[in-house]
Chains A and B, each alone.
Chain A
Amino acid sequence: MSLGGRGSRSIWARLLPSGVREVVAGDLEEIQRRGRVTRARFLLLIAASVVTCWVDALFPLSRRDVGVDDRRNRGDGLMSTFFQDIGYGLRMMRRAPGFTAAAVLTIALGIGVNTATFGIVNVLSLMPLNYQDPERVAFVFGWSQERQERRFNLPLADAIDIGAQSRAFEAVSAYAYWSANLTGGDQPERLQAYRVTANTFALLGAEASYGRTLTPDDGRPDAAAVVVLSDGLWRRRFGGDASIVGRAITLDGVGHTVVGIMPRRFEFPIFNFKGEAWTPLRTDAKAGSTRAGSPSIVAITRLRPGVSYRAAQTDLDAVMRRLEADHPSTNRGLGGRVLEMRRLGEEAGAPLALILMAAVGMVLLLACANVANLLLARAVGRERELAVRAAIGAGRGRLVRQLLTESLLLAAGGAVLGVGFAFWALDALRAVLPEALLTTMPNVAELGVDRTTLAFAAVMTVACAAIFGAGPAVRMVRTDLQGSLKSGGTSASAGPRHQRLRATLMIAQVAVSLILLVAAGLLIRTFDRLQHVDAGFTPDRVVTMMMSLPEYRYGDASSHQRFFEAALGSVARVPGVASAAFANVLPFSTYNDGTRYIVDDGTLPEPGREPGSDYRVITPDYFQTMGIPIVAGRAFDSRDRSATEPVTIISEVFARRVFGTGDPIGKRVRLGRRDSPIRWLTIVGVAGDVRHSAITEQPQPTLYRPFAQAPAERMMLAARAAGGGEALTDTVRAAIGAVDPMQPVYHVTMLSRLVDTALMPNAAAMSMMSLLGALALMLATIGIYGVVSYAVSQQTREIGVRLALGASPGDVLRLMLRRGLFLVLTGAAIGVAGALGVTRFMAGVLYGVTPADAPTYLVVAAGLILVGAAACYIPARRAMRVDPVTVLRME
């Protein structure tokens, strides 16, 4: 057992610094062998030795002073002089509190915004998905060869065949959105539930935190109904009670046995509503034989180890071609695309994230330039000190090291404050994250300062210190220190070389802030344009919510019709509701629905080449409620019943694309493919175009059908308030509850909020960039002010002489202003050129404005020059007030 045993001996010995380990451990061991100490005392001796030796190794005591190169001690130098440098640096910082505060705060600002922004980027695009080997987990999307466009969904039959035939994939699983009604508690609730193939959890490599996940047996057609719950649902609805595992809950009226609870960080699927409950998607063995009716699913896969995405794509292409040849009627024109799961998020957010990272990087550079300026100004004061130290034997390398250590201390001080700021800012941000992000983006709940972010901040800190410290340090050491000692310490640094460095810094600052301000300006104009885009409907004061009738209570079309018509009547009677309608999907709801169609013009498209259109099922007052104009013909009305002539309304784009300038009213179309049952629909009206999923997209061709002729079980309500709006939400909800208290409604929100959510990335980018632009302007202003006022103070003598020789104060003012303004204008010119080059990369995130938008450049440049001139004017006026007599007497 004993501490002297051969096995354990090495353990404590290893606690000692390597340089002293053998000797000290030997001593300790010998003491123990002699057996004159108790066990407790021996432990104390070990502890004391470890502490003493480490303290000695890390903080070697020395009476030698900074800068004196003690050759006898060269060997143990680096570490001990480093600590000396730190001690000395801290003393210097304490001695100049104003300088220190200014530098530390400036760096804190730069590192703070960088760390916070990085924290966001980290969560949105760097943090790995919480699956096993997530880089091998991918989507398998469909690909329309005709439209050269990705399709999110695939038929289940194809997913199964891909899994069976592909050599690149370990497995293929599928999920389908379900959204089940959970009953049995106080209030019915709508869950974001998914049916997933039984191999899904194994494919993801995810384990349950209680119970189990799904097994292959659960996927059999005759298996008992089971469900796996998310951590969130389990805590919210079942109080985090683990005994729920094994008990049954009621989903859509059917008892499901809870078999497992997933861990908190398990999120699936992502970039769609995150699931709260998962049940097995049953896959019949004969799924392949009934391809036409195969349900639409989203396919995911795991690549075999070592298989590249390129190889996987080639393999998938081959499989899809084979399926196309085997099943021409369903698979003609259908290809596949494999995409690493993580990448789907990057497609959405990466351009903006990159632009923001670049922008915060520039702000950091500006901050560094300001600190470098401060250091240069201070260098003048310290020249004598450094000269003395060089004179008594400090090498140049040693002095540079000392100066760099001081820079590092300033940067570290700034970093501590900056990271503190980032902690606070990200916490605040996490509290106000919009629902749309929380329910779809992976890892977003983890937003904060994690280890990656801290490492980033550390790298930034060192980089900062190098950037703002290196220039001044090298510059200072290169100056003629002997000369400066002789001249009594006045301003060798004020010489032309120093001035040039400061002028260069100032020009760079002006240029960089101009670029940032132009970027901000372009984003502001983009946002303004976006807000004035006519989406084709009026989103104000419209309450929306969604309901989905479960099959076990509403089994057929007529029951759907009865419920929604009763609900509509009930909502319409709510005081304050101006008009109300149901639609299968509403604009900006993130849902969409589409159809194939064939026009009745005597021709038939090739099989698989039937054109597609967005598809809407609506109740009669939809156009009126949404504020969508009817541009020709009529809207649906109460005449359009299931027994009357089947009718449809088309959108303007549809009309133009299919009928050109001809009149579409009275023409006929049918839905589906060539071999679908023929049921002609007569076009009775043309409606205005609507932008459905993004304000920047072109309106898609759209077919509308009356709900009475095409009832569905899942509908969205739009209720326009006469005034107010949000206040109506609860009464509208109650009106639907009055029709069926068991029926949950969900996605309750204002239509305008849905539109705002779609604009959120733009709004966020605009506000961020404006903030950064403002910071840049502030930093540049401080920089300009610093440079000019320093120049004035250095040239007091010259100014005095000029004034004495008869120059008017106005002349002096003009002289000083001219110099400052020259630098500002040079910086602005370089900035304009730079902005023209850099903003090209922003083209993808701009809308309605070109990267070279002249008004933006003009306004920004004029504004910056004006601010720059003001920053020059204040110190220049001081020059004007110089009293020549005083100055000359000082000579």
Chain B
Amino acid sequence: MDDRLGAFEQLLLLALVRLGEDTYGVPIREEIEARTGRAVSPGAVYTALDRLERRGLVRSHLGDPSPERGGKRKRQYRLTTRGAAAIGQAHSTLAQMAHGLKPKLGTP
């Protein structure tokens, strides 16, 4: 199975690694926004996670509602083994390609 990942998908999976078990849309969004400065809409987070779930890279279940969500349930996500492998693979691929290029790329 080909588990190639898009850039945004990589960000999502890394956020899941960072946040641990059963996290959901709002913290994921904040994590990405805080670390990359990239504004992300809940809709985008949700649809991308949904796609990843259909590819078997994440798993989800409906969690409890809370008052601050207006009584709406949240969908909680966790990484599957395959998802972890895929993000690991993607990261190392990138790292290998980028190895020693820091001066040329001019980034800190």
Give the residues from 772 to 812 in chain A that come closer than 8 angstroms, CB to CB, to chain B. Answer: none
Q: Check B43 against A51 for contact (C-beta < 8 Å).
A: yes
Is there contact, CB below 8 Å, between A20 and B72? Answer: no
Query: How far does the alpha carbon of A33 sit from the alpha carbon of B62 in the complex, in Å?
Result: 21
Taking the nearest CB of chain A, how far is it from the CB of B1, in angstroms? 11
- Give a binary string over B36-64; 1 marks a CB under 8 Å from any A CB, 0 the rest: 00010111111100110010000000100
Give the A interface residue count (CB, 8 A).
28
Q: Does A30 contact B (CB under 8 A)?
A: yes
The answer to whether A61 touches B73 (Cβ under 8 A) is no
Whether A52 pairs with B41 at a CB distance below 8 angstroms is yes
Report Cα–Cα, A237/B70, bound state, in Å: 63
* B10-18, B21-29, B87-95, B99-107 - the one binding chain A: B21-29
CB-CB nearest in chain A for B43? A49
Q: Which residues of the other chain, A, contact B54 by a CB distance below 8 angstroms?
A: 73, 76
Q: Would you give the 0/1 interface string for A23-57, flagging 1 where the beta carbon is closer than 8 Å to chain B?
A: 11111111101100000000011001111110010
Most B CB within 10 A of own CB, among A4, A27, A50? A27
Tell me which of B43, B51, B65 contacts A53 (CB under 8 A): B43
Q: Are A27 and B24 in contact (CB under 8 A)?
A: yes
Q: Which residues of B contact A45 (CB under 8 A)?
A: 39, 41-42
Q: Which residues of B contact A33 (CB under 8 A)?
A: 68-69
A sample of 19 more A-B contacts (CB under 8 A), given A27-B45, A50-B43, A73-B54, is A20-B47, A20-B50, A22-B72, A23-B62, A24-B43, A27-B69, A27-B74, A28-B42, A30-B66, A30-B74, A33-B68, A44-B41, A48-B44, A49-B43, A52-B43, A52-B44, A53-B47, A56-B50, A76-B54
In the complex, A839 Cα to B43 Cα: how many Å?
63
Contact between B72 and A23, CB atoms less than 8 A apart: yes
Q: Are B72 and A25 in contact (CB under 8 A)?
A: yes
- Is the CB of A9 closer than 8 A to any CB of chain B? yes
**Alpha-carbon separation in the docked complex, A28 to B42 (Å):** 7
Interface centre among A30, A45, A49, A56 (most CB of B within 10 A): A30
- Return A81 CB to nearest CB of chain B, in Å: 15
Inter-chain contacts of B50 with A (CB < 8 A): 20, 56
Contact A49 B42 (CB under 8 A): yes
B46 engages A26 (CB within 8 Å): no
A23, B70: Cα distance in complex, Å: 11
The A interface, classified by DSSP as helix, strand, loop or mixed, is: helix
How many Å lie between the Cα of A27 and that of B73 in the bound state? 9
Q: How far is the CA of A56 from the CA of B41 in the complex (A)?
A: 14
Q: Does A16 contact B (CB under 8 A)?
A: yes
With A20-B46, A73-B54 known as contacts, the answer to whether A26 contacts B72 (CB < 8 A) is: yes
Q: In the bound complex, what is the Cα–Cα distance between A826 and B49 (angstroms)? A: 64
Contacts of B47 in A (CB 8 A): 20, 52-53, 56
Residue of B nearest to A9 (CB): B70
- Measured CB to CB, the nearest residue on chain B to A31 is B26
Nearest residue, chain A, Cβ from B72: A26
In this complex, the member of B39, B43, B54 whose beta carbon has the largest number of chain A beta carbons within 10 angstroms is: B43
Bound-complex Cα distance A31 to B44 (A): 15
Within 8 A of B (CB), among A593-642: none
**Which residue of the partner chain A has the closest CB to B42?**
A27
| A23 and B26 contact, CB distance less than 8 A | no
Chain A residues whose C-beta falls within 8 Å of the C-beta of B46 in the assembled complex: 20, 23-24, 27, 49, 53
Known A-B contacts A23-B72, A26-B73, A27-B74; A61 and B51 likewise in contact (beta carbons under 8 Å): yes
**Which residue of the partner chain, among B51, B66, B68, B74, contacts A23 with CB atoms under 8 Å?**
B74
Residues on the B chain within 8 Å of A26, using CB: 25, 65, 69-70, 72-74
Measured CA separation A49–B46 after assembly (Å): 9
Q: How far is the CA of A808 from the CA of B41 in the complex (A)?
A: 78
Shortest Cβ distance from residue B63 to the other chain A in the assembled complex, whole angstroms: 10
Q: Given A50-B43, A51-B43, A27 and B70 touching (CB < 8 A)?
A: no
Nearest A residue to B69, CB-CB: A26
Q: Kindly state the separation between the CA atoms of A34 and B24 in the bound complex, as whole angstroms.
A: 15
Q: Are the C-beta atoms of A29 and B74 separated by less than 8 Å?
A: no
Chain B nearest CB, measured from A54 CB (Å): 9
Rounded to whole Å, the gap between the CB of B9 and the closest CB of chain A is 11
Given contacts A22-B73, A56-B50, whether A29 and B68 have CB atoms under 8 Å apart is yes
CA distance A456 to B8 in the complex (A): 45
Q: B43 → chain A, closest Cβ, in Å?
A: 3
Complex alpha-carbon distance, A22 and B70, angstroms: 10
> How far, in angstroms, from A56 to B48 measured CA to CA in the complex?
9
Contact A30 B43 (CB under 8 A): no
Distance of A61 Cα from B9 Cα, bound (Å): 14
**Among B25, B51, B68, which residue has its beta carbon within 8 angstroms of that of A24?**
B25
Q: A61 vs B6: C-alpha distance in the bound complex, in angstroms?
A: 12
Rounded to whole Å, the gap between the CB of B48 and the closest CB of chain A is 9
Of A9, A16, A48, chain B has the most CB atoms within 10 Å of the CB of: A48
How far, in whole Å, are A52 and B24 apart by their CA atoms in the complex? 18
Cα of A20 to Cα of B46 in the assembled complex, Å: 8
CB distance from A71 to the nearest CB of B (A): 13
Q: How distant is the Cα of A24 from the Cα of B26 in the complex, in angstroms?
A: 9
Alpha-carbon distance A24/B68, docked complex (angstroms): 14
Q: How far is the CB of B73 from chain A (nearest CB, A)?
A: 6
Contact A24 B73 (CB under 8 A): no
Among B44, B62, B74, residue most surrounded by chain A Cβ atoms (within 10 Å): B44
Q: Write out the residue numbers on chain A whose beta carbons fall within 8 Å of the beta carbon of B45.
A: 27
Output the nearest chain B residue to A26 by Cβ-Cβ distance. B72
13 A–B contact pairs at CB < 8 A? A20-B47, A23-B25, A25-B70, A26-B72, A27-B69, A30-B68, A45-B39, A48-B43, A49-B46, A52-B47, A53-B43, A53-B46, A73-B54
Which residues of A sit under 8 angstroms from B74, Cβ to Cβ?
A: 23, 26-27, 30
Q: B residues within 8 A CB of A31?
A: 26, 29, 42
By beta carbon, the residue of chain A nearest B56 is A72
Residues of chain B contacted by A20 (CB below 8 angstroms) = 43, 46-47, 50
Q: How far is the CA of A735 from the CA of B1 in the complex (A)?
A: 97
Residue of A nearest to B62 (CB): A23
Contacts of B69 in A (CB 8 A): 26-27, 29-30, 33
Give the distance in Å from the alpha carbon of A450 to the alpha carbon of B45 in the complex: 43
Residues of A contacting B44 with CB < 8 Å? 48-49, 52
**How far apart are B78's CB and chain A's nearest CB, in angstroms?**
16
Give the complex CA separation of A30 and B75 in angstroms. Answer: 13
Most buried by B among A26, A52, A61: A26
A718–B24 CA distance with the chains assembled, in angstroms: 91
How far does the alpha carbon of A56 sit from the alpha carbon of B53 in the complex, in Å? 14
Indicate if the CB atoms of B68 and A27 lie closer than 8 Å.
Answer: no
Residue contact B75 to A23, C-beta cutoff 8 Å: yes
- CA of A864 to CA of B21, assembled, Å: 79
Bound-state Cα–Cα, A388 to B54, Å = 27
How far does the alpha carbon of A9 sit from the alpha carbon of B72 in the complex, in Å?
Answer: 12
Q: Determine whether the beta carbon of B43 is less than 8 Å from that of A29.
A: no
Q: Which chain B positions have C-beta within 8 A of A44? A: 41
A56 proximity list for chain B (CB < 8 A): 47, 50-51
* Minimal beta-carbon separation of A799 from chain B (angstroms): 52
Residues of A within 8 A of B68 (CB): 29-30, 33-34
A27 interface neighbour in B26, B39, B62, B65, Cβ under 8 Å: B26
Interface centre among B29, B44, B47 (most CB of A within 10 A): B47
Instruction: Output the least CB separation between A239 and chain B (Å).
Output: 54
Interchain nearest-CB distance for A743 vs B (Å)? 76
In the complex, what residue of chain A is closest to B2 when comparing beta carbons? A63
Question: Which of B42, B65, B74 has most chain A Cβ within 10 Å?
Answer: B42
B residues within 8 A CB of A4?
A: 70
Known A52-B47, A53-B47; judge A23-B41 contact (CB<8 A). Answer: no
Contacts of B24 in A (CB 8 A): 27
Report the bound CA distance from A44 to B40 in whole Å.
10
A48 touches B41 (CB 8 A): yes
Nearest-CB residue, chain B, relative to A10: B70
Instruction: Indicate if the CB atoms of A30 and B26 lie closer than 8 Å.
Output: yes
What is the bound-complex CA distance between A11 and B21, given in angstroms? 33
Known: A49-B43, A51-B43. A23 touches B29 (CB 8 A): no
Residues of A within 8 A of B66 (CB): 30
Distance in Å from the Cβ of B16 to the closest Cβ of chain A? 16
Give the chain A neighbours of B65 by CB distance below 8 A: 26
Min distance, Cβ A30 to any Cβ of chain B, angstroms:
5
